[in-house]
Amino acid sequence: MLLDLAFLIPAFPLLGFLVILVAGRRLGEPGAGWVATMAMGGSFAAAAAVFLGLLGEDADERRHVQTLWEWVPVGDFSVDIGFLVDPLSITMTLFITGVGALIHLYSIGYMHGDENFSKFFLYLNLFAFSMLMLVLGDNLLLTFLGWEGVGACSYFLISFWFTEEANATAGKKAFVTNRIGDWGFMVATFLIFVTIGSIEYVDIIGNAEGGHISESTATWITVLLLIGAAGKSAQFPLYLWLPDAMAGPTPVSALIHAATMVTSGIYLLTRVNPVLAEAASWSTDLIAWVGALTALFAATIAVAQNDIKKVLAYSTVSQLGYMFLAVGIGAYIAAIFHMITHAFFKALLFLGSGSVIHGMHHDQDMRHYGGLQKLMPITSATFIVGWLAIAGVPPFSGFWSKDEILAYAYDVNPVLWVIGLITALLTAFYMSRQVFMTFFGEYRYADVRPEEISEIWDTRFATAEAAVAEAEAGIGVAEDGIVKAQEKLDKAAEKLEQREAEMAEADESDEKAFDKATKNLEKAKEGVVKAQETVDEVTVSVDAARAGVDTARANVETVLAAAASAGDDLEGISDDDLPAAVKERREFHPHESPWQMTVPLILLSGAAIIAGVMNLPFSKDLHFLEKWLEPTLYGNKHKLGLSGGELWILATIAVVIGAVGIAAAVAIYLQKRIPAEKVELAILARGWRYDEAVTDFMGGPGRKGFDLVAWFDATIVDGIVNGTGRLVRTAGGRLRTLQTGLVRSYAALVAVGAVGLIAWFLVRTTF
Amino acid sequence: MSSLLAASSADVPFPILSALVVTPFLGALLMLVLPNGRPEYFKQVAFLVSGAVAGMTAWVMVEFDKHTADEFQFVDSAEWIAGLGISWTLGLDGISLWLVVLTAALFPLTILAIEAEHTPKAYYAWLLLLEAGVMGVFLALDLFAFFVFFEIVLVPMYFLIGQWGHGARAYAATKFFVYTMFGSAFMLVGILATAFLTAAETGNAVSFDLVYLAEEQALATTTARWIFLSFAVAFAVKVPLFPVHTWLPDAHTNAPTAGSVILAGVMLKLGTYGLLRFGIYLFPEASVYFAPALVALGTIGIIYGAIAATMQKDLKRLVAYSSVAHLGFIVIGTFALNTEGLSGGLLQMVNHGISTGALFLLVGWIYDRRHTRLIAELGGLQKPAPVFAAVFMVVMLSSVGLPGLNGFVGEFLALLGAFAAHRWWAIVAATGVVIAALYLLWAYQRVFHGPAEGDNAEMKDLTWSEGAIMVPFLAAIFVMGLYPAPVLERMEPAVDALIEHIEGNVEDFDEADADQGEDLDVDDLKDLGKKKDSKATDESALVEGGAG
Q: How far is CA A164 from the centre of its chain?
A: 15
Q: What confidence score (pLDDT) does residue B359 get? A: 94
**A331: nearest CA in chain B?**
B539
Q: Which of B151, B377, B378, B170 is CA-nearest to residue B270?
A: B151
> What one-character-per-residue DSSP string does A485-540 give?
HHHHHHHHHHHHHHHHHHHHHS-TT-HHHHHHHHHHHHHHHHHHHHHHHHHHHHHH
pLDDT value at position A657?
93
Q: What would you report as the CA-atom Rg of chain B, rounded to the nearest whole angstrom?
A: 25
Averaged over B37-59, what is the pLDDT? 91
> What residues of chain A lie within 8 A of the CB of B344, using their CB?
74
Contacts of A646 in chain B (CB under 8 A): 546
Report CA-CA distances (Å) from B358 to A310, A343, B165: 40, 41, 19
Give the model's confidence band at B10: pLDDT under 50 very low, under 70 low, under 90 confident, else very high: very low
Distance CA B361, CA A703 (A): 29
* Contact residues for B507 (Cβ-Cβ < 8 A; gap 6+): none
Cβ distance B185 to A195 less than 8 Å, yes or no, reads: no
Nearest CA in chain A to B427: A187
Which residue is closest to A159 within chain B, CA to CA? B449
Interface test with A, best of B151, B230, B528, B544 (most A CBs within 10 A): B528
Up-side HSE of residue A356: CA atoms within 13 Å toward CB?
Answer: 32
Confidence at residue A177, expressed as pLDDT on a 0 to 100 scale: 93
Cα separation, A598 vs A606, in Å, equals 12
Rounded alpha-carbon distances, angstroms, from residue A147 to A625, B205, B548:
25, 59, 45
Q: State whether A710 and B404 contact (CB < 8 Å).
A: no
The helix/strand count (H/E) of chain B reads as 22, 2
- Interface contact A617-B442, CB threshold 8 A: no
Considering only CA atoms, which of A611, A655, A686, A669 is closest in space to residue A314? A686
Q: pLDDT tens-digit profile of B247-292?
A: 999 999 999 999 999 999 999 999 999 999 999 999 999 999 999 9
State the total domains in chain B.
1
Distance, CA of A345 to CA of A323 (rounded, Å)? 15
B479/A contact by beta carbon, under 8 A = no
Distance CA B423, CA B413 (A): 14
Instruction: Give the strand pairing for B86-92 and A64-74.
Output: unpaired
Closest CB to A197 among B189, B243, B515: B515
> Could you give the angle at the alpha carbon of A266 between the alpha carbons of A265 and A272, nearest 5°?
90
Cα B234 from Cα B187, distance rounded (Å): 6
Query: Residue B58 pLDDT more than 90?
Result: yes
The residues spanned by each domain of chain A are: 1-138, 159-279, 282-445+591-685, 450-583, 736-767
Q: Give yes or no for B33 touching A (CB within 8 A).
A: no
DSSP-assigned letter for residue A672: -
pLDDT bracket for residue B419 (50, 70, 90): very high
Residue A505: what pLDDT? 78
For chain B, percent helix, then strand, then coil, each to nearest 5?
70, 5, 25
For residue A562, the Cα-to-chain-centroid distance in whole angstroms is: 40
Quote the radius of gyration of chain A (alpha carbons, Å).
39
Is A655 an 8 Å CB contact of chain B? no
DSSP states of B310-325 as a string?
HT-SBHHHHHHHHHHH
Inspect the interface and report whether the beta carbons of A648 and B380 lie closer than 8 Å. Answer: no
Query: Rounded to 5, what percent of chain A is helix, strand, coil?
Result: 80, 5, 15
Rounded to whole angstroms, the Cα distance separating B458 from A552 reads 54
What is the predicted pLDDT for the residue at B97? 93
Higher per-residue confidence, B331 vs A672: B331
A72 touches chain B (CB under 8 A): yes
How far apart CA A407 and CA A329 sit, in angstroms, is: 11
Whether residues B540 and A647 touch (CB distance < 8 A) is answered with yes
Contact A61 B526 (CB under 8 A): yes
User: Closest Cα to residue A148, out of B110, B425, B481?
Assistant: B481
CA distance B370 to chain A (A): 19
Give the pLDDT band (50/70/90) at residue B544: very low
Distance in Å, alpha carbon of A383 to nearest chain B alpha carbon: 30
Angstrom distance (rounded) from CA A251 to CA A258:
10
A620: closest CA of chain B, how far (Å) = 6
Domain span including residue B407 = 16-514
Alpha-helix residue ranges (DSSP H) falling in B275-314: 281-282, 284-310
Is B264 within 8 Å of B248 (Cβ atoms)? no
Q: Give, for B77, the enclosing helix (H) or strand (E).
A: strand B73-81
User: Distance, in angstroms, between A308 CA and closest chain B CA?
Assistant: 25
Q: Which segments of chain A have a pLDDT < 70? A: 731-767
CATH topology assigned to domain A450-583: Helix Hairpins (1.10.287)
The average confidence (pLDDT) of chain B is: 88
Confidence of residue B333 (pLDDT cuts 50, 70, 90): very high
User: What's the pLDDT at A548?
Assistant: 83
pLDDT top residue among A59 and B500: B500
Q: Which of B185, B200, B542 sits opposite A648 (nearest CB)?
A: B542
Kindly determine whether residue B517 and residue A197, on different chains, have CB atoms separated by under 8 Å: yes
Checking ipTM against 0.85, whether it exceeds it is: yes
What residues contact A649, with CB distance under 8 A and at least 6 apart? none
Interior CA angle at B425 toward B424 and B427, to 5°?
Answer: 65
pLDDT greater than 70 at residue B6: no
Are the beta carbons of A169 and B445 separated by less than 8 Å? yes
CB contact under 8 A, B547 and A648: yes
In B164-183, the residues whose Cβ lies within 8 Å of chain A are: 174-175, 177-179, 181-182
Asked if the model's pLDDT at residue B8 lies above 90, the reply is: no
Interchain CB contact of B221 with A (< 8 Å) = no
Q: What is the mean pLDDT of residues B5-32?
A: 77
How far A569 CA sits from the closest chain B CA (Å)?
A: 39
Please count the other Cβ atoms lying within 10 Å of the Cβ belonging to residue B454.
Answer: 9
Residue type, A253: S
Separation between Cα atoms, residue A579 and residue A570, nearest integer Å: 13
Q: Do A72 and B413 touch (CB under 8 A)?
A: yes
pLDDT, position B1: 39
Is the predicted pLDDT of residue B393 greater than 50, yes or no?
yes
Query: What are the backbone angles phi and psi of residue B352, rounded to the nearest 5°?
Result: -65, -35
Contact A190 B416 (CB under 8 A): yes
How do residues B354-379 score in pLDDT, each as one tens digit? 999 999 999 999 998 988 889 999 98
CA angle B303, B309, B314 (to 5 degrees): 170
Supply the pLDDT for residue B537: 46
CB pairs under 8 A between A and B: 309
Is A191 in CB contact (< 8 Å) with chain B?
Answer: yes
CB B467 within 8 A of CB B44: no
Which residues from chain B sit within 8 angstroms of residue A152, using beta carbons? 397, 402
